[in-house]
Amino acid sequence: MNYLSRSRILTISLLITLVITALVAGSARSQESSKPTTPGSGYRLSGPYTHKNLTIFLVHGKEQMPGKTFLTLEEALAQKKVIVYETKDVNELAIRNVSNQDVYVQSGDVVRGGDQDRMISMDFIVPPKSRRMPIAAFCVESDRWNKRGNESSGQFSSSTNGAATKDLKLAAKRSNSQSEVWESVKVAQQKISANVSVEVADPASPSSYELAVSNGAVVKSGNEYVNALSGIVRNKPDVIGYVFAINGHVNSADIYASRPLFVKLWPKLLKASAVEAIAELNQAQAPKPVTDETVHMFLSDSERAKAEAKPVTTRVKLVTRENEENIFFETQDRANKDNWVHRNYIRKQ
């Protein structure tokens, strides 16, 4: 073999080595970029998606309940498939499911009507064709205890809004305090009024959280966020939840075992996040950027705290984990081998 032939062989060998090295390195980079956000849960993130002071990361992951469907409380009330009853007890309502489907009720759902508007305090599932079941609730309208306008005082007509500030959520879910709920409603009304330059307390019932967030100025301002961000879940079939930050600080996350359930709840969740962003808007200060790493740490740190479990109903169990910074709530379905249905993460400060 002459020198020229040996040189060609060496050159070809070197090129093959370089190609193999590049392929291996590319594979490593691909594996690195697809690492889950939280190793224990297998989540991935996309984003950030930002409008004004509200930043959202979408959570991608494997659906835990393929083929499972729920009615939400909002659509079940609209379709008259559930009845929510006034009981004359401030902190307890009753519900009956007259449909053939499971109805998922989420903590923070606000029901309108009765003798005063209420906020549901815990997640639970109402089975098909159920009997009348008790619901733990908090009053979000302290001054009224009678029929309002054309609404029924014996039943609740709708649930289009949800609790929109983490202080309100924590007052119900962590402190279990009616007085803290009322105070959180009052503070939210004051902050929102200041930032939309309109008094949002409605003369028909000045203490009503429901009427305050339904104020025309609040709806108009909130729609700016909703119109900018509602479409971010489209064409992303593995999105099962979201994390949001306000003014550059991580606030909360909601993740679901059912992709269809998340898609149904997304408009209501986004609307509540927008209302909270309005309440906390600071026109003089631009929000800081939020990084993947910050969200990664928020989710994983929340899941590491010691777990405490308690039954909500014979069907549902609630697991809570809390440390100095975060609190984590996991709703489990006993009828589905204790698989989780909803995970709610809240940054306490």
Kindly list the domain boundaries of the chain, sorted by start residue.
44-347
Can you say whether the dihedral through the CA atoms of 231, 232, 236, 242 is positive or negative?
negative
**CA–CA gap between residue 177 and residue 163 (Å, rounded):** 15
Q: Please write down the long-range contacts of 143-147, taking CB distance under 8 Å and 24 or more positions apart.
A: 143/205, 143/206, 143/207, 144/115, 144/116, 144/117, 144/205, 144/207, 144/208, 145/115, 145/116, 146/115, 147/115
* Kind of pairing between the strands at 339-347 and 326-333: antiparallel
pLDDT the model gives residue 176: 93
Band of pLDDT at residue 7, cut at 50, 70 and 90: very low
According to DSSP, the residues that pair with 347 across neighbouring strands are: 326
Estimate the share of the chain in helix, then strand, then coil, as percent rounded to the nearest 5: 35, 30, 35
| Amino acid code (one letter) for 224 | E
CA distance 221 to 212: 13
Higher pLDDT, 349 or 184: 184
At residue 41, the pLDDT reads: 56
Averaged confidence pLDDT in the chain: 88
- DSSP notation for 285-325: SPPPP--HHHHHHHHHHHHHSPEEEEESSSSEEEEEEE-SS
Q: How far apart are CA 333 and CA 349, in angstroms?
A: 30
- The pTM of the full predicted model, rounded to 2 decimals, is 0.86
Quote the CA–CA distance of 291 and 248 in Å, as a whole number. Answer: 9
pLDDT digits (tens, 9 = 90+) for 259-314: 999 999 999 999 999 999 999 998 767 778 899 999 999 999 999 999 999 999 99
pLDDT tens digits, 159-168: 999 999 999 9
More confident residue, 35 or 243: 243
* Whether pLDDT at 74 is above 80: yes
Provide, rounded to the nearest whole percent, the portion of the chain with pLDDT above 90.
Answer: 79
pLDDT at 6 over 50: no
What's the Cα-to-Cα distance from 106 to each of 84, 134, 206, 269, 340, rounded to whole Å? 14, 14, 26, 11, 13
DSSP class per residue in 218-234 = HHHHHHHHHHHHGGGGT
Tens digits of residue pLDDT in 79-123: 999 999 999 999 999 999 999 999 999 999 999 999 999 999 999
What pLDDT, on the 0 to 100 scale, is given for residue 328?
A: 97
The type of residue at 347 is R
User: Which helix (DSSP H) or strand (DSSP E) does residue 51 occupy?
Assistant: strand 44-51
Tokens of 1: 């073999």
Task: Compute the distance between CA of residue 177 and CA of residue 348 in angstroms, rounded to an integer.
Answer: 16
Question: Does residue 11 have a pLDDT over 80?
Answer: no
Asked if pLDDT for residue 39 goes beyond 90, the answer is no
Residue 33, pLDDT score: 30
Residues facing residue 321 across a β-bridge:
307, 328
CA angle in degrees (0–180, nearest 5) for 296-297-301: 125
The pLDDT value given to residue 289: 86
